[in-house]
């Protein structure tokens, strides 16, 4: 497994030296950012079972925050990006605290309302966001005097960001913190009876998922060189959610594989956006109806069945 991971990273790192098509590299950029966002959603929804529709809001907030911090406040991109993550994290706590007070159903409703509200703010708070027309002419970030512009350098920027983020998230998914989250998801009463404070874990999960999603959104904005309220398009939310469900909620590897395949395959097959979304939607329906635990869950269930029959003999 580590060997496979190193090979994949190495291939990804040398790809731009072989492939010169900026189209392929830009597909790579999108994939890197989607992977981080989907894995972030996997923290709150996968580990804790809390369906957050607010991810699209954090994604957009991250984009707008980074752009405004760089263009209006004159901050460096490298400072603005983590600040955007922190800002979204703080917002997530402010939203999460009341949203978690009721039950997991109201959490869905409150996060949805929050997502709709941020769209409205982006469109209507014209003095801050310049309204529906968006903010054009986003400058390129500089890395030690080297301008990051175009698919080639953004491939490395997004790739490095995804590598670091996913490594940190991998450490998180394999830590005891994640185990406690899985425990809370399976039986909150039992976890409480054993001394776990579920609210603290839920807020941590929400914070982390907002933090990484917002930074991915920030890079997306600089890659597009323009940001407008379309960054809040529900399409992104649906794409992240489908990657998590197809891969298997709570599974790191499952979501990684599903995210990569679902980012690349439609491009390879040259599907139009509508047709791609129809297929995404059908995949969502099929998995939710017949394999709610995704690919990873399906494999796990097969393995458990085998184990059960072995142990019963």
* Interface size with another protein, residues (CB under 8 A): 60
Single out the residue of 160, 134, 124, 120 nearest to residue 28, CA to CA: 160
| Axis crossing angle, helix 294-312 with helix 234-247, rounded to the nearest 10 | 20
Q: How far is the CB of 257 from another protein (least distance, A)?
A: 20
- Residue 89 contacts residue 210 (beta carbons within 8 Å): yes
Say how far apart CA 207 and CA 308 lie, in whole Å. 38
Using CB under 8 A as the binding rule, whether residue 291 contacts another protein is answered as no
Q: How many of the other CB atoms lie within 10 Å of CB of 298? A: 16
List 9, 19, 86, 116, residue binding another protein (CB under 8 A): 116
Alpha-carbon gap, residue 158 to 110, rounded angstroms: 31
Could you say which of 112, 138, 214, 221 contacts another protein (CB under 8 A)? 112
Closest CA to 150 of 14, 25, 32, 18: 25
Q: Is 157 helix (H, G, I), strand (E, B) or coil?
A: helix
Name the one residue in this structure whose structure tokens are 């298997």: 248
Q: How far apart are the first and last CA of the chain?
A: 32
Among 73, 120, 167, 265, binds another protein (CB under 8 A): 120
136 near another protein (CB under 8 A): no
Interaction between residue 175 and another protein (CB under 8 A)? yes
* 8 vs 288 by CB, closer to another protein: 288
Q: Give the residue, chosen from 75, 86, 152, 182, that forms a contact with another protein under the rule CB under 8 A.
A: 182
Q: Is 21 in the site for another protein (CB under 8 A)?
A: no
- Name which of 210 and 241 has its Cβ closer to another protein: 241
List residues near another protein by CB under 8 A.
49, 51, 102-106, 108-109, 112-113, 116-117, 120, 123-124, 126, 171-172, 175-177, 179-180, 182-183, 186-187, 189-190, 192-198, 204, 234, 238, 241, 245, 272-275, 277-278, 280-282, 284-285, 288-289, 292, 304, 307-308, 311
């Amino acid at each position: 497994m580590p060997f496979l991971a190193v090979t994949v990273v190495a291939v990804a790192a040398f790809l731009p030296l072989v492939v010169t098509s900026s189209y392929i590299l830009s597909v790579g950029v999108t994939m890197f950012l989607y992977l981080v966002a989907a894995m972030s959603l996997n923290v709150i929804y996968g580990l804790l079972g809390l369906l957050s529709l607010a991810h699209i809001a954090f994604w957009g907030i991250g984009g707008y925050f980074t752009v405004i911090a760089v263009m209006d406040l004159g901050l460096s991109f490298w400072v603005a990006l983590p600040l955007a993550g922190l800002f979204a994290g703080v917002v997530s706590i402010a939203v999460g605290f009341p949203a978690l007070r009721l039950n997991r159903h109201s959490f869905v409703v409150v996060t949805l309302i929050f997502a709709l509200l941020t769209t409205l703010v982006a469109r209507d708070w014209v003095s801050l966001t310049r309204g529906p027309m968006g903010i054009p002419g986003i400058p390129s970030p500089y890395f030690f005097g080297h301008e990051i512009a175009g698919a080639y350098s953004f491939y490395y920027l997004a790739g490095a960001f995804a590598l670091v983020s996913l490594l940190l998230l991998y450490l998180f998914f394999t830590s005891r913190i994640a185990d406690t989250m899985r425990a809370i998801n399976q039986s909150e009463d039992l976890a409480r009876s054993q001394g776990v404070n579920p609210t603290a874990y839920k807020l941590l999960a929400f914070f982390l998922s907002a933090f990484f999603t917002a930074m991915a959104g920030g890079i997306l904005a600089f890659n597009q060189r323009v940001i407008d309220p379309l960054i809040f398009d529900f399409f992104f939310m649906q794409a992240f959610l489908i990657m998590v469900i197809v891969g298997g909620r709570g599974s790191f590897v499952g979501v990684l594989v599903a995210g990569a395949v679902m980012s690349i395959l439609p491009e390879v097959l040259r599907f139009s956006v509508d047709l791609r979304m129809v297929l995404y939607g059908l995949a969502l329906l099929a998995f939710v109806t017949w394999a709610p635990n995704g690919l990873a869950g399906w494999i796990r269930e097969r393995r458990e069945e085998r184990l059960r029959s072995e142990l019963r003999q």
